[in-house]
């Protein structure tokens, strides 16, 4: 992160603490139609044009420790094999034999020298190449080089592996805009995986994700936890192209530090803001991370059905700090906060399905949510969205470039 950017975040928080109104010219945001959270046809568009065409966090390289290590990844509904090949490259393939579509792996994770279809015996190496066909004599003219596994886009940001099922998508780092530059001194090329956990919640995925894009709720939902050390009135927000965004919230006391992290090793190159304040980034669409010099969580939000979702929490430590004794306490403290965020989600889902819910009326503090929905319509294509469910573009003039 450039020094002038870090200073702009401090200046932005100070300005937020002192302002009496939104900046001159900021528009009143129209209602976000409630049907975007409940309408089956809209949610089908979302599945097709968002989840199938976005860069999505899949795993950390530590989870594939050796050549032949693989994991079966199903977050978008399609079973995808993510594997480390013999050259130590992380690759991804649909778990689909090119013959008649049978699966190639059945375990959720393991190690293999290649992929073998138990249905008819077709065999592939770790690079996806078809190496053996049973009774090849009965396939006249077959060119086996044309029948390798169908590969899925798989790229890395540091030690983090992302998947995108859209072969035409822009490269991962281009899609993230300024975020990699903001985080470049946090050691993500050497950061280690500590633990991952999953929680199932009975609500549409956007209902919970929305809560992680604003701090307006802190006084109501977290009065004895987060609100005691973060000043939500000082939250400074930055909106970027492609739906990405961040917010930086000041500590109520300049000297405050997370007690669960005091004494943990720190990344020596990390900027002061990752120690003394609370930045939080949204890698569009579904990854939220409040990085810190002592370690970073990735929180990812996944749809299961129209009314249920999964939230995954992944923890990463600076190299050499993987076994620190404070990690269990730190993760437990975070799960307590997560429980506070999720406690009302099922009842909110019930409420948004009533005739009393017309849509979401957002404040200036909540503009990251509106920004998220604007990008969703861009990805779906506004012409495909029913007119009564569209979100009117309002925030283009308020986007930043760094």
Q: Considering the domain boundaries, does residue 170 fall inside one?
A: no
Q: What is the pLDDT of residues 327-340, one digit of tens each?
A: 999 999 999 999 99
- CB neighbour list of residue 132: distance below 8 Å, 6 or more residues apart: 121, 122, 123
Same-domain status, 355 and 381 = yes
Q: Looking at residue 140, what is its pLDDT?
A: 95
User: Do 266 and 200 share a domain, yes or no?
Assistant: yes
> What is the predicted pLDDT for the residue at 9?
97
Tell me the two tokens of residue 203.
């609500």
pLDDT number for residue 28 = 96
- Whether 356 is in a domain gets the answer yes
Q: What is the pLDDT of residue 381?
A: 97
Is the pLDDT reported for residue 63 higher than 80? yes
- 199 with 149, same domain: the answer is no
Q: Is the pLDDT of residue 245 over 80?
A: yes
Q: Say how far apart CA 3 and CA 141 lie, in whole Å.
A: 62
Confirm whether 257 is domain-assigned.
yes
Average pLDDT, the chain: 96
Given a cut of 80, whether residue 143 has pLDDT beyond it is yes
Do the domain assignments include residue 295? yes
Here the CATH number for the domain that contains residue 195 is: 3.90.380.10
In a domain, 253, yes or no: yes
The C-alpha atoms of residue 325 and residue 308 are separated, in whole angstroms, by 35
What is the domain extent for residue 111? 56-157
Q: Is residue 204 predicted with pLDDT exceeding 80?
A: yes
pTM above 0.85, yes or no: yes
Q: Using one digit for the tens of pLDDT, what is the confidence trace for 275-330?
A: 999 999 999 999 999 999 999 999 999 999 999 999 999 999 999 999 899 999 99
Q: Are residues 115 and 19 in the same domain?
A: no
Please provide residue 238's backbone torsions phi and psi, each rounded to the nearest 5 degrees. -125, 125
Does residue 119 share a domain with residue 190? no
- Label residue 257 by pLDDT band (50, 70, 90): confident
Domain end, chosen from 122, 157, 192, is at: 157
Sheet of strand 130-132: strand arrangement: 114-116, 123-125, 130-132
Verify that 144 and 259 share a domain, yes or no.
no
Residue ending a domain, choose from 157, 186, 209: 157
Number of domains, the chain: 2
């Amino acid at each position: 992160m450039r020094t002038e950017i870090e200073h702009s975040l401090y200046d932005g928080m100070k300005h937020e603490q002192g302002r009496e109104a939104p900046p001159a010219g900021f528009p009143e945001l129209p209602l976000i139609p409630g049907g975007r959270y409940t309408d089956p046809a809209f949610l089908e568009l979302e599945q097709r044009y968002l989840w199938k065409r976005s860069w999505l966090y899949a795993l950390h390289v530590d989870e594939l420790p050796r050549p032949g290590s693989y994991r079966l990844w199903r977050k978008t509904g399609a079973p995808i094999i993510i594997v480390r090949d013999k050259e130590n490259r992380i690759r991804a393939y649909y778990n689909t034999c090119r013959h008649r579509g049978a699966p190639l792996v059945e375990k959720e994770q393991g190690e293999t020298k290649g992929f073998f279809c138990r249905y008819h015996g077709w065999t592939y190496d770790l690079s996806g190449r078809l190496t053996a066909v049973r009774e090849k004599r009965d396939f006249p003219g077959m060119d086996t080089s044309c029948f390798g596994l169908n590969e899925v886009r798989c790229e890395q940001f540091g030690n983090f592996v992302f998947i995108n099922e859209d072969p035409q998508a822009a490269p991962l780092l281009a899609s993230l805009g300024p975020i990699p530059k903001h985080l470049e001194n946090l050691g993500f090329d050497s950061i280690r995986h500590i633990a991952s956990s999953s929680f199932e919640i009975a609500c549409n995925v956007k209902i919970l994700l929305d809560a992680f894009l604003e701090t307006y709720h802190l006084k109501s939902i977290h009065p004895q936890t987060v609100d005691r050390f973060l000043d939500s009135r000082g939250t400074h927000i930055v909106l970027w192209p492609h739906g990405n965004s961040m917010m930086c919230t000041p500590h109520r006391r300049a000297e405050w530090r997370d007690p669960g992290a005091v004494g943990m090793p720190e990344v020596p190159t990390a900027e002061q803001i990752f120690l003394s304040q609370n930045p939080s980034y949204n890698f569009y669409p579904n990854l939220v991370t409040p990085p810190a010099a002592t370690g970073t969580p990735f929180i990812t939000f996944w749809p299961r059905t129209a009314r249920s979702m999964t939230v995954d929490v992944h923890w990463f430590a600076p190299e050499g700090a993987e076994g620190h004794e404070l990690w269990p306490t730190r993760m437990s403290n975070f799960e307590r906060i997560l429980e506070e965020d999720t406690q009302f989600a099922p009842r909110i889902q019930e409420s948004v399905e009533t005739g009393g819910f017309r849509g979401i009326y957002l404040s200036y503090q909540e503009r990251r949510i509106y920004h998220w929905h604007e990008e969703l319509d861009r990805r779906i294509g506004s012409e495909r969205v029913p007119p009564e469910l569209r979100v009117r573009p309002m925030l283009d003039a308020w986007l930043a470039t760094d």
